Structure 1
Amino acid sequence: MTGAVRHRGALRVVGVGPGDPELLTLKAARILGSADVVAFFAKAGRPGHARTIVEGALNPAAEQLRLVYPFTTEVALDDPRYLAEMAQFYESAASTLADRLDRGLEVALLSEGDPFFYGSSMYLFDRLARDYAHEVIPGVTGMSGCWAQARIPICHGDDVFCVLPGTLDEDTMIERLKAVDAAVIMKVGRNLEKIRRALRAAGLLNRAMFVERGTMGDERIVPLARLEEDKASYFSLVLVPGRQRPR
């Protein structure tokens, strides 16, 4: 464990994987089974994906702290209100966790996938790690769960691999795609049509695979060129496998 120990309580940021409860690591399961407090993010009116994954794995006596986002995709990332209100939300959530840590409680903060890969939990870690003992438990990423389910080896040898957010502007996305051998495009959602155009322009559309809710019971895997929708759900990504050279 690292970090300055000024209080008895410790923060453990726990990656819980992409969706299949069996992809929870042994270490994560052990920590969740004994934590005094379990905190998790959720959209208003939803149970919270990370919390759903760990159903049955928690200490029955643990306090459960539901941290409800003020919004998710309703406000654009470049809207000044987004940064201001999200920063306020993370400050408030960090204060809530600090209160428990100050009381000497062990706090487990859940994160879908891996905590440091596009995870909201990193923003609370940033605010708390300097003052509290802490530990980060890595988790299976959504993208690795998806390419395993799709049976698509993503890269090999000296392939150059890139992870791109679907929120990039189209010209930048095309430029990045042309410069790599393999890619994963995250944050698909309402960016699906733009992503499709960029892949077509980069000559990669026929290699692209769309995966929705990978590792979950209702997952869907289909070649992107055959997908008819122009929008995708939150739990979606696009795989562009490399491995185009002989080995």
Structure 2
Amino acid sequence: MTKTGTIYGVGLGPGDPDLMSVRAHRLLGAANHVAFFRKAGRKGQARQIVDGLLAQDAVEIPMEYPVTTEIPVHDPRYNVLLSAFYEEVTQHLIALVQSGQDVVVLCEGDPFFYGSFMHLYARLRDVVPVEVVPAITGMSGAWTATETPITWGDDVLTVLMGTLPQDKLVDHIKRTDALVIMKIGSNYQKVVAALKDGGKFDDAWLVQFATMGKQTVTKLSDMTDSGTPYFSIIIVHGQGRRP
């Protein structure tokens, strides 16, 4: 009988390879099969992070999204297309593992924090062995880039997705002490309006490409561009209790 392999969901951290865990680095160097998500026609951010770290004979498995921003996330077609995509990818990975192969799946940030790997994990965990390697999150890299602590004492930290409706964004913004907003991209203008309505616009920072070579850290009120790249995070620091 062929021994069943294992799928490793490997967190790569916020972008700088030096911030990757020792375990992640070890698994990457030994991997025979490496799978990663990407948009069609792109190399993929996760794959770029591991440039030079994979074995020369590693088999690469690009998993190309059928849709990203072409259809609004609230359109029923969005979930239908992605569900079929994840199911197809899952079956391919299961076949590899059942043939005795280990597969490393590259995950930007932490695999269990708003990542695509979670959708594979939910489909794989009861079928084949799956191990998850945690990592530093992108938001941790972003608030560290501002050179200011994100929370003090008993501050409440809220993490929001820019894809939320504006009224929900405003409601959460008003009720929190410290704030992280992710998935900005095409939602930029809506997020800016919500921060203004929620009274936190003047305290907000925009971090683009946190920990990467082209990282920028800008007070949001100083931004002159009308948009921002996908790899952007907005930070509002808490001002809570301290000695």
- TM category, shorter: over 0.9
Query: Which ranges of structure 1 fall in alignment gaps of 5 or more residues?
Result: 1-5
In the alignment, which residue of structure 2 is the partner of 1:167?
Answer: 163
Alignment of 1:20-99 (within 5 A): 20-99=16-95
- Structure 2 SS opposite 1:98: helix
In the alignment, which residue of structure 1 is the partner of 2:112?
Answer: 116
1: CA distance, partners of 2:241 / 2:153 = 9
Shift of 1:203: 1.5
Shift of 1:155: 0.3
2: CA distance, partners of 1:9 / 1:239 = 41
Percent sequence identity is 43
Q: CA RMSD in A?
A: 1.3
2: CA distance, partners of 1:137 / 1:246 = 34
Does 1:208 pair with 2:204? yes
Q: Which stretches of structure 1, 4 residues or more, deviate above 4 A after TM superposition?
A: none
2: CA distance, partners of 1:58 / 1:81 = 36
Shift of 1:61: 2.4
After TM superposition, the structure 1 stretch with the greater mean CA deviation from structure 2, 198-207 or 135-144, is 198-207
Residue type matched to 2:151 in 1?
Answer: C
Deviations, residues 174-230 of structure 1 (Å, cap 9, x unaligned): 111111100100111111111111111221111100011111111111000111222
Shift of 1:7: 5.5
- Structure 1 SS opposite 2:169: helix
Residue type matched to 1:242 in 2?
Answer: G
2: CA distance, partners of 1:23 / 1:50 = 14
Shift of 1:243: 2.1
Shift of 1:74: 1.1
Q: Is the 8 A contact 2:154 2:240 kept in 1?
A: no
Query: What TM-score results when the alignment is normalised by the length of structure 2?
Result: 0.96
2: CA distance, partners of 1:163 / 1:79 = 23
Shift of 1:33: 1.1
Q: Is the 8 A contact 2:138 2:210 kept in 1?
A: yes
1: CA distance, partners of 2:98 / 2:57 = 19
Query: Which ranges of structure 2 fall in alignment gaps of 5 or more residues?
Result: none
In the alignment, which residue of structure 2 is the partner of 1:3?
Answer: none
Query: What TM-score results when the alignment is normalised by the length of structure 1?
Result: 0.94
Deviations, residues 67-104 of structure 1 (Å, cap 9, x unaligned): 11112111101112111110010011111111110111
Shift of 1:60: 2.5
Aligned length: 242
1: CA distance, partners of 2:23 / 2:52 = 15
1:197 is matched with which residue: 193, 196, 200? 193
1: CA distance, partners of 2:44 / 2:215 = 18
Q: Is the 8 A contact 1:94 1:127 kept in 2?
A: yes
Residue type matched to 2:134 in 1?
Answer: P
Does 1:222 pair with 2:218? yes
